[in-house]
Amino acid sequence: MIPSSPRFPDIQTHWAKPFVEALAARGMVRGFEDQTFRPNRAVSRAEFAALLQTAFPSPAKRPYTPFADVPANHWAAIAIRKALRNWISVRLSESQVSPGGVHSQGASTGFAGRGLRI
């Protein structure tokens, strides 16, 4: 039997390896085109919205109000719309999402808590 190569070579000694591998096995995270995961990289609002919508799919609870900084052709526009319609706030302000902006640990934890309904 030929051993398989690690899915993400850059997480092999990282503390989050079991979590990353479990989420990847469920299709919730994919990593980057170069087959890395980059575990210490900051997560953008768009990336986090996509992760939340994969992890916590649910029907809309409120109408969506479009944001000027999230064009319809943005790669995460659907995930951002779904997150905001489910009271998972990934926005920066009442009028701006800043999809390329990064989250603090506190904000990420709060958004995940909303997804878990905590």
At 18-61, the pLDDT tens digits run: 888 888 888 878 888 999 988 888 888 888 878 777 777 777 77
The answer to whether residue 33 is domain-embedded is no
| Average pLDDT estimate for 93-117 | 65
Q: Does 22 fall in a domain?
A: no
- pLDDT tens track for 64-74: 777 888 888 99
Alpha helices in 1-118 (DSSP H): 17-25, 45-55, 77-85, 105-115
8 domain residue, yes or no:
no
Determine how many CB atoms are found less than 10 A away from the CB of residue 32: 11
Is residue 61 domain-resident? yes
- Domain count across the chain: 1
In a domain, 51, yes or no: yes
Question: Is a pLDDT exceeding 60 seen at residue 76?
Answer: yes
Residue 87: domain span: 42-118
Q: What is the dihedral of CA 103, 113, 36, 3, to 10 degrees?
A: 170
**In-domain check, residue 114:** yes
The answer to whether residues 89 and 113 touch, using CB atoms and an 8 Å cutoff, is no
Neighbours of 118 (CB within 10 A): 8
Query: Among 73, 67, 75, which residue's Cα sits nearest to residue 98?
Result: 67
| Positive/negative CA dihedral, 44, 46, 50, 52 | positive
